[in-house]
Structure 1
Amino acid sequence: MNILVYGAGVLGSYLAHALKRGGNDVTVLARGKRAEELERNGVVVRHYFQLRTTVDRVRVIRTLEADDQYDLIFVVMKYSDFPSVLPILAANQSRHIVIVGNNADARQMQSYIEENSPTKKHVAFGFQLSGGRRYEDGRILAVRGGGQMVLGGLDGPIPFQPLLDKAFKKASYKLDYHDDIDAWLKSHIIFILVLNTVSFSPEGGMKKLDGDKRLLLEMIEAMDEGFRVLEAMDITITPAGQVKFIRERKRLVYYFLKLYSIIPIYKLIDGTISEMEALSSEFAQWKRATNSSTPSMDKLANQFFPHP
C-alpha cells in the first residue's frame, strides 16, 4: 500500500519503520535537517529492549501537494502542531487520514478537514502506545519492541478499517480499535498533564520525586481532580477501571509513581513544553465550562511549568 507518514519525530519514525517492515510503500514527510538525515541514512531505530538497530529506506518529501495521493495518511505530531497542517490535509486529494497523538479537540479537527476539502474525507484518530528519544545523529531509541496504536472514529466504526488492517497485516504492530476514541484521548490527557507537568520542572522534575511524599500525593489528587472535570462534561473515563484504581488504590498508585520517577524509561517519553501548555490551556477551558475547582492540578502547574 502507498502510505504517507506526515511527521518524522520519534513516533512518526517508528510508525514508518513498522509500516515499511510490513511490506508497504512508505513515504515520510520531513523538513530541514531531519529530511536530510532520512535521505542519507534512512529510518534508523535503536530498539531499547532488543538491543539491536534496524535501518529502513523510505521516500522522503518536504511538502504535501494537493494532487499527491496516498491510500493512507498518518499525521504524527505534537498537539500544538496539528493546526498548521489541517489546511494542507484538507486541500490534498487523499481520502483516508489518521491523526495520531494527544488530542483535546478531535471533533473540531475533523470538522475543519471535512468542511474545507474538495473531496470526501474519512478521518480517524489514534494514539501510539510507544515512545523513545531521537539523538543528534538521527537514531531513534524505541522504548518497546513492538508497536501498538489505540484508534477509532468519532462517528462509529472507521469506514476504512479494512485498509488499516491490510496495511498492518504483516507488520509487527497491533491496532486496538476503540468505540469512543474521543473519551479515550481526553482521559489520557489527564495522566499526560500530571506526569509531564512535573517532568518538565526546571528544577529536575521526576528526578526528585523519589522520597517526596507530599508531591506524589499531590499528583494523585490532581489526577482525581482531572477525572472529575471530565465527568462533569459527561465524558466516560476510559479505560473505566483507571479512575476507580486512582480513587480506591491510592497506595498502589503512590508506589507506581515513585517507581516511575526512579527508572530511566520516563526520560525516553517524547514531549515538549509547548504541547503541554496547549493541552493545559484546553483543560482550563474544560474547567471554566464546568465551573470545576482543581487546586492540586493548579498547584502543580504553577510550581513546575517554566511559563505558568
Structure 2
Amino acid sequence: MRILVYGAGVLGSYLAHVLVRGGNNVTMLARGGRLDELQKNGNVIRHYFQFRTTADKVNVVSELQPEDIYDLVFVVMKYPDFQAVLPALAANHSSHIVLVGNNASPSEMRDYLETHSSVKKQVAFGFQLSAGWRENGRVNCVRAPKVQMTIGGLGEELSWRAVIDQAFVNTKYKLVYHNHMDEWLKSHFVMILPLNFIAPSYNGDLRKAIKDNMLLHHVIAAVDEGHQVLEKLGYTVAPASQIKLAREQRKMFYILLKLMLSTPVGKILLGDKAVSADEMSALYQAFNDLKSRANIPTPHWDTLENYSPLPQR
C-alpha cells in the first residue's frame, strides 16, 4: 500500500517503522531538522527496552500537494498542531485519513475535512500506545513488545476498516477498534491530565513526589472527578475498567501509581522529554470547558492546580 505518515515525531516515526517493515510503500512528511535527518540517515529508532536500534529508508516530503494521492494517510501529531494541517488535508485528494494522538475535538476536525474537501473523505481517529523523545538525530521509543493502537469512528463502525487492516497485515502491531472514539479520547485525557500534575509539583523530582501520599490521593480523586464531568455531560467513560479503577479500586490504583513512579517507565512517561507542555495546556483548557458545561464541583482538580508540596525533612 502507498501510505503517508504526516508527522515525523516520536509516534509517527515508530508507526512509519512498523508500516515499512510490513512491506508498505511509506512516505513521511517532515520539516526542518527532522527532514534533514530522515533524508540523510533514514528513520533511525532506538527501541529503548528492546536494546536495539533500527534504521529504515523512507520516502520524505516537506509538503502535501493536492495531487499526491495515498491509499491511507496517518496524521500523527500533538493535539494543538492538528488544526494547522486540516486545510492541506482537505485539499489533498486522498480519501482515507486517520488522525492519531490526543484529541479533544475530533467531531469538529472530521466535519471540517468532510465539508472542505472536493473528494469524499473517510476519517477515523486513533491513539498509539507508545512514547519517547528525540535525541541526537534519532528517536528513542518506549514501548511494549507489541504496540497497540485504539482506532475507530465517532459513533459508527468503519465501513473501510479493511483498508486499515491491510496496512498492518504483515506487522507485529495490534489494532483495537472502538466505535466511539470521541468518548475514548476524552476518557483518556481526563486520566492523564491529573498524572501530569505530579512531576511539576516537585520540579520534576519524582523521587520526592512518590513520598507525598496526599498528592497521589488528590490525583486519583481528580481522575474520578474527571469521569464524573464526562458522565454529567452524557459521555460513557471508555474503557469501563478505567472508571472502576478510579472509583471502586482506589487502593489498587494507588499501588499501581506508586509502582509506576518508581520505575524508569514512569520517569520517562511523566518527564519533560516525553511530555509536551503545549499539548497538556491545550487539553487542560478543553477539560476546563467540559467542567464549565457540567457545572459540578471538582475540589481535587482545584487543589492540584495550586498544589503546594509537603515540607521536606
Matched with 2:311 is none
Matched with 1:255 is 255
* 1:1-308 matched pairs, under 5 angstroms: 1-201=1-201, 203-204=203-204, 206-269=206-269, 270-303=274-307
Rounded to whole Å, the distance in 1 between the matches of 2:93 and 2:166 is 21
Residue 200 of structure 1 contacts residue 273 of structure 1 at CA under 8 Å; is this kept in 2?
A: no
Give the TM-score, by structure 1 length: 0.95
Gaps of 5+ in 2: 309-313
Rounded to whole Å, the distance in 2 between the matches of 1:185 and 1:255 is 25
Residue 3 of structure 1 contacts residue 72 of structure 1 at CA under 8 Å; is this kept in 2?
A: yes
Structural RMSD (CA)? 1.5
SS at match of 1:50: coil
Q: What code does the residue aligned with 1:63 have?
A: E
Per the TM alignment, residue 248 of structure 1 is displaced from its structure 2 partner at its CA by: 1.5
Rounded to whole Å, the distance in 2 between the matches of 1:181 and 1:300 is 27
Percent of counterpart pairs with the same letter? 50
Q: What code does the residue aligned with 1:273 have?
A: A
Q: What code does the residue aligned with 1:284 have?
A: N
> After alignment, is 291-300 or 218-227 more displaced?
291-300
Rounded to whole Å, the distance in 1 between the matches of 2:187 and 2:76 is 19
Residue 34 of structure 1 contacts residue 138 of structure 1 at CA under 8 Å; is this kept in 2?
A: no
SS at match of 2:196: helix
SS at match of 1:183: helix
Q: What code does the residue aligned with 1:56 have?
A: D
Rounded to whole Å, the distance in 2 between the matches of 1:205 and 1:232 is 35
Rounded to whole Å, the distance in 2 between the matches of 1:151 and 1:28 is 20
Q: What code does the residue aligned with 2:119 have?
A: T
State how many pairs are aligned: 304
Rounded to whole Å, the distance in 1 between the matches of 2:241 and 2:2 is 38
Residue 132 of structure 2 contacts residue 268 of structure 2 at CA under 8 Å; is this kept in 1?
A: yes
> After alignment, is 14-23 or 177-186 more displaced?
177-186
Residue 151 of structure 1 contacts residue 178 of structure 1 at CA under 8 Å; is this kept in 2?
A: yes
Question: How far does the alpha carbon of each residue in 1:251-301 deviate from its partner, in whole angstroms, 9 at most, with x for none?
Answer: 111111111111111333332111011001011111111112212112213
Rounded to whole Å, the distance in 2 between the matches of 1:251 and 1:218 is 13
Rounded to whole Å, the distance in 1 between the matches of 2:243 and 2:258 is 19
Give the TM-score, by structure 2 length: 0.93
Q: What code does the residue aligned with 1:30 have?
A: A
Per the TM alignment, residue 155 of structure 1 is displaced from its structure 2 partner at its CA by: 4.0
Per the TM alignment, residue 197 of structure 1 is displaced from its structure 2 partner at its CA by: 2.7
Residue 47 of structure 1 contacts residue 145 of structure 1 at CA under 8 Å; is this kept in 2?
A: no
Per the TM alignment, residue 201 of structure 1 is displaced from its structure 2 partner at its CA by: 4.6
Per the TM alignment, residue 129 of structure 1 is displaced from its structure 2 partner at its CA by: 1.1
Q: What code does the residue aligned with 1:275 have?
A: E
1:220 and 1:75, CA in 2 relative to 1: closer, same or farther beyond 3 A? same
Rounded to whole Å, the distance in 1 between the matches of 2:157 and 2:227 is 26
SS at match of 1:139: strand
Rounded to whole Å, the distance in 2 between the matches of 1:301 and 1:162 is 44
Gaps of 5+ in 1: none
Rounded to whole Å, the distance in 1 between the matches of 2:87 and 2:157 is 25
Question: How far does the alpha carbon of each residue in 1:189-237 deviate from its partner, in whole angstroms, 9 at most, with x for none?
Answer: 1111111232345712534222111101110111011000000011011
Q: What code does the residue aligned with 2:176 have?
A: D
SS at match of 1:289: helix
Residue 129 of structure 1 contacts residue 149 of structure 1 at CA under 8 Å; is this kept in 2?
A: yes
Per the TM alignment, residue 158 of structure 1 is displaced from its structure 2 partner at its CA by: 1.4
Residue 14 of structure 2 contacts residue 141 of structure 2 at CA under 8 Å; is this kept in 1?
A: no
Per the TM alignment, residue 37 of structure 1 is displaced from its structure 2 partner at its CA by: 0.6
SS at match of 1:300: helix
Rounded to whole Å, the distance in 1 between the matches of 2:153 and 2:119 is 19
